[in-house]
């Protein structure tokens, strides 16, 4: 019996029912059911959390530092975060009032969106992008408006495209560079041009910089550091990628006091605080984790060089990404759609890549290969992809 | 890439895995295989790289070696300090490594043999009797946990998702 009157579905909210189920869910399930797959589909570091960070978490437990912390997070961690942000990529923030510790960047993003959006407001974000952006916006009853980025621009965001998408209802511009899934980054000039548009149209900028420390080659300061931007930007970053701490679920947001205060209100009623143990580990990461962070970054950087060369050598056009641990080769030449390519590659060669369409419709014709996997596996995966393409021709 | 920078980058990779293929080094560092070959040859010629060794798990090897760390106290000499004695001890093939160290004793040796008796005999008859050697202390190695940065126990496998968006 599951007619509409007796089904539990009758209690579900309309905007949740209409939330699209991820189109590649079936593909993920197929991958998970198969053995001996080499997966280039994993968007998390393959490194184990550095031992000193794990050890700091154990020590926190041993000392009994296992209680609630301030809603904003331990002041010692906020101080360390603000010092780190200022030294490495962002503006100076006041640890007492302009920084909040969250359960992953995902929570921080949810908090700031809920804090600033009214039903019907429009949020601009760029596609291809991380899978949670549009649903998180939709869950605030606001409207998610994608701006397409393309191969011709190395998937950097074109300020003119942003400008064209702006309507009187546009309130927020959500950025994610270095980008998941493309690995694209913004140049200093690109950031300045986008900042100019944001200021002219009085937009709040939410900058998800979770991959910032995994930048290769020239780096430029956060968009929050540009003139006129600090007061209209909320900078989000965390420990998952740079310090290989995904399971700790620990991140932070920095921004103007009133916005952080509003985020804190939601956070205190929903999450209360981030895990005290994870916070202790995060302090250790910032204070003593630089060598390990740099070692991992260098390894990703070299893997990127290898994988981009291999893909281009086998005829899959692939631009040189500026950061993160993803490459986004074009597979149009094979005559297959992204999903067909990923499905057949999985079945015929047991290599998992993620169809570009998982990250937005404009990802059609591309697949995401993550190089957060050991070099030996990457080499085998590249051989298998070459064989796969060879068999298609 | 500058030559010094190239050497440093290649050395970093070889220190982690001396058997890394030249093609992989080249791809990682965006160099040609020829450049990599030349740089490695240059480091060998300049005796910056002296050799390449395997890290062996003795527990799994058929011909198990007995190894010992020997602390050696040395009477330094007026002209050469510790060098003459260290050089003399270094010449024994049983002596795998020799370091001059700070602290309670002077030289730290690693000695290999086929049995406990074999090593003990070597220490008593050859090392302790050397001119300049004042005293020795022998520590037999019982178990290896880590060598040259390599762990001898596998880190426990943990469940990792196969696809993460």
Confidence at A3, pLDDT banded by 50, 70, 90: low
- Is B35 in the same domain as B86? no
Q: What is the pLDDT of residues A306-330, one digit of tens each?
A: 999 999 999 999 999 999 999 999 9
The residue-averaged pLDDT of B49-71 equals 89
Percentage of residues in chain A with pLDDT exceeding 70?
99
Please report where in the chains the tokens 């030289």 appear, as a residue.
Answer: B107
Is B109 part of any domain?
yes
Contact B30/A at CB under 8 A: yes
Contacts of B163 in chain A (CB under 8 A): 27-28, 31-32, 39, 41-42, 352, 354
Residues of A in contact with B164 (CB under 8 A): 41-44
Residue A56 inside a domain? The answer is no
CA pair distance A196, B15, nearest whole angstrom: 48
Which residue in A106, A105, A95, A104 sits closest to A72, CA to CA? A95
- Is B41 part of the contact surface with chain A (CB cutoff 8 Å)? no
From CA A310, how far away is CA A305, in angstroms rounded? Answer: 9
Q: Flag if A43 and B29 touch (Cβ within 8 Å).
A: no
For the residues A259-275, what does the mean pLDDT come to? 98
Task: Give B54→chain A minimum CA distance, Å.
Answer: 19
CB atoms within 10 A of CB B77: 13
Number of domains in chain B: 2
Of A32, A43, A48, the CB nearest to B155: A48
Please state, in angstroms and rounded to a whole number, the distance separating the CA atoms of residues B27 and B37.
13
3-state secondary structure of A211: coil
- Tell me which residue in A31, A309, A358 faces B162 most closely, judged by beta carbons: A31
Residue ending a domain, choose from A256, A288, A320: A288
Higher pLDDT, residue B56 or A56: A56
Same domain membership, residue B71 and residue B24: no
Q: pLDDT tens digits, residue range A284-293? A: 999 999 999 9
Based on the structure, what is the number of domains in chain A? 2
Q: Do B62 and B126 fall into the same domain? A: yes
Asked whether the predicted pLDDT for residue A4 surpasses 90, the reply is no
- What is the distance in angstroms between the Cα of B42 and the nearest Cα belonging to chain A? 23
Chain A's closest residue to B161, CA to CA, is: A42
Based on the fold, state whether residues A107 and A175 are members of the same structural domain: yes
Q: Do B165 and A354 touch (CB under 8 A)?
A: yes
C-alpha distance from A39 to closest chain B C-alpha (Å):
6
Q: Looking at residue A104, which CATH number applies to its domain? A: 3.40.640.10
In a shared domain, residues A33 and A75: no
For A249, left (φ over 0), alpha (ψ -120 to 50), or beta?
left
Bridge partners for A172 per DSSP: A123, A204
Q: Are B62 and B134 contained in the same domain?
A: yes
Q: What is the CATH number of the domain that holds B134?
A: 3.30.70.920
Q: Is residue B70 part of a domain?
A: yes
For residue A131, the chain B residues in CB contact (below 8 A) are 165
Query: Is the pTM for the entire model greater than 0.90?
Result: yes
Chain B residues closer than 8 Å to A37 by CB: 162
Within 8 A of B160 by CB-CB distance, chain A residues are 42
Interface membership of B26 toward A (CB under 8 Å): no
Pair A185, A224 in one domain: yes
**Residue A30 contacts residue A343 (beta carbons within 8 Å):** yes
How far, in Å, CA of A199 to CA of B71, rounded?
70
Statement to judge: residues B69 and B120 lie in one domain: yes
Mean pLDDT over A207-223 rounds to 96
Listed in sequence order, the residues at least 6 apart from B40 whose beta carbon sits closer than 8 Å to its beta carbon are B10, B14, B22, B49
Q: Are residues B71 and B37 in the same domain?
A: no
A140 domain-assigned: yes
Nearest-angstrom CA–CA distance, A393 and A164: 41
Residue B143: how many other CB atoms lie within 10 Å? 7
B163 and A28 within 8 Å at the Cβ level: the answer is yes
Q: Given this model, what pLDDT does residue A361 score?
A: 94
Task: Answer whether A43 sits within 8 Å of B30, measured CB to CB.
Answer: no
Contact pairs from chain A to chain B, CB under 8 Å: 47
How confident is the model at residue A278, as a pLDDT?
A: 98
Instruction: Name the phi and psi angles at A207, rounded to 5.
Output: -110, 105
* Test mutation, B17, B25, B162, chain A, max A CBs within 10 A: B162
Facing residue for A43 by CB, picked from B30, B155, B164 = B164
* Average predicted confidence (pLDDT) for chain B: 93
Residue entry with tokens 């070959």: B37
* Average pLDDT score, chain A: 96
Binned at pLDDT 50, 70 and 90, residue A346 comes out as: very high
Distance between B160 CA and the closest CA of chain A, angstroms: 9
Smallest CA–CA distance, residue B25 to chain A, in Å, is: 9
Q: Which long-range contacts (CB under 8 A, 24 or more apart) does B51-55 make?
A: B52/B14, B52/B18, B52/B19, B53/B18, B55/B147, B55/B148, B55/B150
- Contact between A363 and A128 (Cβ < 8 Å): yes
Are residue A248 and residue A203 in the same domain, yes or no? yes
Which is nearest to A93 in space by CA: A205, A260, A271? A260
Mean pLDDT of B15-40: 96
Q: Picking from A12-21, A53-62, A353-362, B75-84, which range would have the lowest pLDDT averaged per residue?
A: A12-21
CATH number where B37 lies = 1.10.10
| Nearest CB to A306; choose among B27, B162, B165 | B27
Which DSSP symbol is given to B30?
T
- Dihedral angle of Cα A148, A153, A155, A157, to the nearest 10 degrees: -60
Q: Flag whether pLDDT at A123 surpasses 50.
A: yes
| φ and ψ of A298, to 5 deg | -60, -40
A159 and A138 co-located in one domain:
yes
**pLDDT confidence of B59, banded at 50, 70, 90?**
confident
* Cβ proximity of A118 and A142 under 8 Å: yes
CA distance A240 to B67: 42
Residue B118 has pLDDT above 90, yes or no: yes
Domain extent, residue A187, equals 63-288
Tell me the CA distances in angstroms from A240 to A39, A49, A246, A264, one per residue in order: 19, 9, 4, 21
pLDDT value of residue A1: 46
Residue B20 inside a domain? The answer is yes
Residue A274 pLDDT:
98
In a domain, B26, yes or no: yes
Contact: A48, B161; criterion CB under 8 Å: no
Q: Taking CA atoms, what residue in B is nearest to A27?
A: B163
**Complex prediction ipTM:** 0.85
Partners of A22 on chain B (C-beta within 8 Å) are 165
Closest residue, chain A, to B28 (C-alpha) = A302
How much is the pLDDT for A279?
98
Does the distance separating the beta carbons of A306 and B28 come in below 8 Å?
yes
Q: What angle do CA A180, A71, A75 make, to 5 degrees?
A: 85
For residue A333, what is the enclosing H or E element?
none
Same domain for B136 and B67, yes or no, is: yes
Same domain, B82 and B110: yes
The dihedral formed by the CA atoms of B94, B100, B102 and B107, expressed in degrees to the nearest 10: 30
Last-in-domain residue among A260, A288, A316: A288
Q: Are B107 and B99 in contact (CB under 8 A)?
A: yes
The predicted-structure confidence for A154-170, as pLDDT tens digits, reads as follows 999 999 999 999 999 99
Give the residue numbers spanning the domain of B15: 3-45
Asked, for residue A55, whether it belongs to a domain, the answer is no
* Torsion on CA atoms B119, B125, B129, B130, rounded to nearest 10: -70
Q: What are phi and psi of A370, to 5 degrees?
A: -90, 140
Tokens of residue B27, six digits: 């791809």
pLDDT of residue B157 exceeding 80, the answer is no
Of A305, A310, A358, the CB nearest to B165: A358
Is residue B157, in this structure, part of any structural domain at all? no
Q: Return the DSSP state at A332.
A: G
Inform me whether the pLDDT recorded for A2 exceeds 60: no
CB-CB: which of A32, A130, A358 is closest to B162? A32
Interface of A with B (CB under 8 A): 22, 27-28, 31-32, 37, 39, 41-44, 48, 130-131, 302-303, 305-306, 309-310, 352, 354, 358-359, 375, 379
Total length of chain A = 393
* Average pLDDT value for residue range A179-193: 97
Residue A119: band (very low, low, confident or very high) from pLDDT cuts 50, 70, 90: very high
């Amino acid at each position: 019996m599951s007619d509409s009157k007796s089904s539990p579905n009758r209690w579900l909210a309309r905007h949740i029912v209409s939330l699209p189920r991820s189109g590649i869910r079936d593909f993920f399930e197929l991958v998970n059911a198969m053995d001996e797959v080499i997966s280039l589909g994993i968007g998390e570091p393959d490194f184990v959390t550095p031992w000193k960070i794990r050890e700091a978490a154990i020590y926190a437990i041993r000392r009994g530092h296992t209680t609630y912390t301030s809603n904003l997070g331990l002041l010692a961690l906020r101080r360390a975060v603000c010092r780190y942000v200022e030294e490495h990529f962002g503006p100076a923030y006041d640890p007492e009032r302009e920084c909040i510790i969250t359960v992953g960047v995902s929570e921080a993003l949810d908090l700031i969106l809920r804090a600033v959006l009214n039903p019907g407001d429009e949020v601009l974000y760029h596609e291809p992008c991380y899978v949670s952006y549009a649903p998180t916006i939709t869950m605030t009853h606001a409207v998610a408006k994608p701006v397409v980025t393309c191969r011709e621009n190395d998937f950097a965001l074109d300020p003119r495209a942003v400008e064209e998408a702006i309507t009187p209802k546009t309130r927020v511009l959500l950025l994610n560079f270095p980008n998941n899934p493309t690995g694209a980054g913004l140049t200093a000039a690109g950031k300045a041009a986008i900042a100019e548009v944001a200021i002219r149209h009085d937009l709040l900028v939410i900058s998800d910089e979770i991959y910032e420390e995994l930048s290769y080659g020239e780096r430029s300061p956060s968009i929050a550091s540009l003139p006129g931007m600090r007061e209209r930007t909320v900078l989000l970053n965390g420990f998952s990628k740079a310090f290989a701490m995904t399971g700790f679920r620990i991140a932070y947001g920095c921004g103007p006091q009133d916005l952080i205060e509003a985020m804190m209100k939601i956070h205190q009623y929903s999450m209360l605080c981030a895990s005290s143990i994870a916070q202790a580990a995060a302090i250790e990461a910032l204070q003593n984790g630089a060598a390990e962070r740099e070692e991992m970054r260098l390894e990703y950087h070299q893997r990127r060089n290898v994988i981009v060369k291999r893909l281009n050598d086998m005829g899959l056009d692939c631009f040189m990404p500026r950061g993160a641990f993803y490459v986004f080769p074009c597979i149009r030449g094979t005559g297959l759609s992204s999903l067909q390519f990923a499905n057949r590659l999985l079945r015929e060669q047991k290599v998992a890549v993620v169809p570009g369409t998982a990250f937005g419709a404009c990802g059609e014709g591309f697949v995401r290969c993550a190089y957060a996997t050991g070099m030996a596996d990457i080499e085998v995966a590249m051989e298998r992809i070459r064989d796969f393409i060879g068999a298609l021709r | 890439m500058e030559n010094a920078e190239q050497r440093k980058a290649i050395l970093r990779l070889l220190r982690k895995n001396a058997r890394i293929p030249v093609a992989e080094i080249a791809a990682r560092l965006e160099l040609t295989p020829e450049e990599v070959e030349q740089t490695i040859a240059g480091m060998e010629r300049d005796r910056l790289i002296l050799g390449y060794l395997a890290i062996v798990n003795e527990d799994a090897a058929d011909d198990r070696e007995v190894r010992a760390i020997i602390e050696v106290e040395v009477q330094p000499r007026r002209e050469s300090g510790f060098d003459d004695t260290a050089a003399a001890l270094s010449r024994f093939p049983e002596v795998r490594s020799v370091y001059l160290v700070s602290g309670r004793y002077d030289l730290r040796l690693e000695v290999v043999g086929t049995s406990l008796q074999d090593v003990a005999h070597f220490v008593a008859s050859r090392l302790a009797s050397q001119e300049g050697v004042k005293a020795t202390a022998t520590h037999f190695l019982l178990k290896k946990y880590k060598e040259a940065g390599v762990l001898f126990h596998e880190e426990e496998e943990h469940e990792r998702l196969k696809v993460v968006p």
